[in-house]
Copies of this chain bind each other. A is one copy, B any other.
Amino acid sequence: MQKHVVNVSVNPRGSLETLSQREVHQLSEAGSGSTYSLFRQCALAILNTGAQIDNAKTILEAYEDFEVRIHQQDRGVRLELLNAPADAFVDGEMIASTREMLFSALRDIVYTESELGSPLIDLSSSPGITDYVFQLLRNARTLLPGVEPKMVVCWGGHSINSEEYKYSKKVGHELGLRSLDICTGCGPGVMKGPMKGATIAHAKQRIRGGRYLGLTEPGIIAAEAPNPIVNELVILPDIEKRLEAFVRVGHGIIIFPGGVGTAEEFLYLLGILLHPDNQGVPFPVILTGPKSAEAYLQQLHDFVGATLGADAQSRYQVIIDDPAQVAVQMAAGLRKVREFRRERNDAFHFNWLLKIEEGFQRPFDPTHENMASLQLTRAVPAHELAANLRRAFSGIVAGNVKDNGIRRIEEHGPYEIRGEAHIMQPLDELLQAFVAQHRMKLPGGSAYVPCYRVVS
């Protein structure tokens, strides 16, 4: 792979412009200390924004001599980039959006590092974690007071087919025509399509200040580099905080076709919405895709019905091949959100009223023990079942495709899961369908063999 590189020096914009001497000193340590490789990796991903390669490894290897140095100067901070990908520059000058994202990454990484010791941060309790997510988003200037609810989160695959991509663009266009903003995981595929569609629609509606919010985390930013339309980038410290950010900042969610990750996110969302405390909280959710994805969506919908029941199905709508209708329904849902928050005097910019149990805020480690103790039975409340299903799903996927999951299976044999048959069977079928539709890639193209067995 041939590559052009450049060496440049850039000054910050935004909240990094007014730093105290102490903060600048702390920042410059980020250029050498433990956070260095983290920042370097994010920086490289951002500098590759818009490039066609979306394989993290390839990028990292292609630019292994890339370096970023943070210089302290009385007036503030300056970044020096060595051997940086030339595509991020025009006539030697860094593209404005790239520069913005670069300093967004620095801002968030430094914030994450520096605040951890603060007595104001309490990661040991559920409200403390929520507070931390709030602080981080506010520090990133993502929380705009007084703006009416119009942030639509779009979830779905990052490597979908062309038809599904075009469909996501059309939905984004219809959302944009109705003045709605877009929030995604900020990579390609469904994370880009709706933003692109909305950009054109906002231009048509003469809307300045349309928001294209990308929420990512260090573990995936390299694989899913921010697309160039993102105009607000926030790097959350881990998957769980990123998920919480989505549901607290978004006013509604659209789920497009995707892989196992999308299905997990869907279960995460249902687990929260089914919590009794959230029963009266309006939160529009739409499952949608083009005609060609109808079977897939139907199966997902049936799976929810079979496992979590009709009540769970009633928390979302399924709309096939009708972008305008998706936007019309979403807009209607957002009006209810607005009224609800107004009545309760709740903020528009952060969904404080949504109850998220601590279990959703902590990572799940799929050991054999953890998998064996999951309660997959309709005897537990639906929101707990949803949470457990998400964990089982996550574990099974790991057992099939992830390095440490596969190793565990090789060592200890298949997971033993204490699940009801009419829960485990639809789950099994769903996974098989994912494989058949190439939405889950097995290592070496091997046949799908369940890595678990049901113990009754």
Contact = CB atoms under 8 A, between A and B. Distances in A.
Interface of A: 17-18, 20-22, 50, 73-76, 90-91, 95-98, 100, 114, 117-120, 127, 131, 134-135, 138, 143, 145-146, 174, 177-178, 199-200, 203-208, 228-229, 231, 328, 331, 341, 344-347, 349-350, 352-353
Contact of A76 (B17, B117, B347): B347
Contacts of A76: 145, 347
A20 B135 contact: yes
Given A21-B127, A74-B347, A352-B74, A204 B91 contact: no
Contacts of A199: 199-200, 203
A349 B206 CA distance: 24
Nearest to A141: B18
A331 to B, nearest CB: 8
B21 A96 contact: no
A75 B341 contact: yes
Given A50-B204, A74-B344, A75-B344, 4 more contacts: A18-B143, A96-B205, A203-B228, A203-B231
A211 to B, nearest CB: 12
Contacts of A178: 90-91
Contact of A120 (B118, B205, B208): B118
Nearest 10 Cβ contacts at the A-B interface: A17-B145, A96-B206, A75-B345, A74-B346, A90-B177, A73-B345, A96-B205, A97-B204, A18-B143, A20-B134
Query: Copy number of this protein in the oligomer?
Result: 4
Contacts of A331: 91
Most chain B beta carbons < 10 A, residue from A90, A146, A205, A353: A90
A135 B76 CA distance: 15
Nearest to A209: B208
A228 B208 contact: no
Contacts of A328: 91
A331 B91 CA distance: 11
A352 B24 CA distance: 12
Contacts of A206: 96-97, 100, 231
B138 A18 contact: yes
27 contacts: A17-B146, A18-B138, A18-B347, A18-B349, A20-B131, A20-B134, A21-B352, A22-B127, A73-B345, A74-B346, A74-B353, A75-B341, A75-B346, A76-B145, A91-B331, A95-B177, A95-B204, A95-B205, A97-B205, A100-B206, A114-B120, A199-B200, A200-B228, A203-B228, A203-B229, A204-B228, A206-B231
B18 A145 contact: yes
Contacts of A352: 21, 74
